[in-house]
Each structure stands twice: as structure tokens, then as C-alpha cells.
């Protein structure tokens, strides 16, 4: 059981890294010079592909944490 969870954790971690790297950057040169206050207080929602990537990132992050807790529990018992 431990080996299956460990393999799952490794796979999820690589998927999480890939999804985070696929997300588009939010910074550009103009906002870096002005402090980026317009992006901080902007009301722009992610749409389409970006929204899907955010959702997948959240789900993979939750699965990663659950697997890590489960592995910790199994290794202590």
C-alpha cells in the first residue's frame, strides 16, 4: 500500500509541476515598473484555458497534500 501511494505521490507531483509551468505569466515590463497595483486590485477573472488550469492546479494540490498525509500516517504506524 505504501509503494502505491508513494508512486501516486510522485506522479501527482510531476503533473503539478507541469500544470504550474503551463500557466501564463501575469507580469509584464510595464507593470513591473509601475508596481503592478492595477493587477492587484483588478477584477479580472480567468476564463477558458486559464480557469481550467487553475482548477486542475487546485485539485492536484489537494491530492498531493492528501497523499502526503496518508504516507505520513502509514509510515508512522
Q: How many structural domains compose the chain?
A: 1
CA angle 26, 36, 21 (to 5 degrees): 20
* The pTM of the whole model exceeds 0.75: no
Residue 9: domain span? 1-22+47-77
Name the nearest CA neighbour of 65 among 77, 75, 57.
57
For residue 55, tell me if it sits in a domain.
yes
For residue 33, tell me if it sits in a domain.
no
- Axis crossing angle, helix 49-76 with helix 2-22, rounded to the nearest 10: 150
What pLDDT, in 10s, does the model give residues 11-66? 999 999 999 999 888 766 555 565 555 555 555 666 788 889 999 999 999 999 99
Cβ atoms of residues 67 and 12 within 8 Å = yes
- Provide the pLDDT for residue 70: 95
Task: Give the 3-state secondary structure of residue 24.
Answer: coil
- Provide the pLDDT for residue 15: 96
- Provide the pLDDT for residue 69: 96
For residue 40, tell me if it sits in a domain.
no
* Local structure of residue 43 (DSSP, 8 states): -
For residue 29, tell me if it sits in a domain.
no
Amino acid at each position: 500500500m505504501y509503494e502505491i501511494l508513494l508512486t501516486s505521490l510522485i506522479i501527482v507531483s510531476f503533473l503539478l509541476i507541469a500544470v504550474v509551468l503551463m500557466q501564463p505569466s501575469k507580469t509584464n515590463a510595464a507593470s513591473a515598473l509601475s508596481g503592478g497595483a492595477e493587477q492587484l486590485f483588478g477584477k479580472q477573472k480567468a476564463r477558458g484555458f486559464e480557469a481550467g488550469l487553475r482548477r486542475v492546479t487546485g485539485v492536484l494540490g489537494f491530492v498531493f497534500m492528501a497523499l502526503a498525509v496518508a504516507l505520513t500516517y502509514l509510515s508512522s504506524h
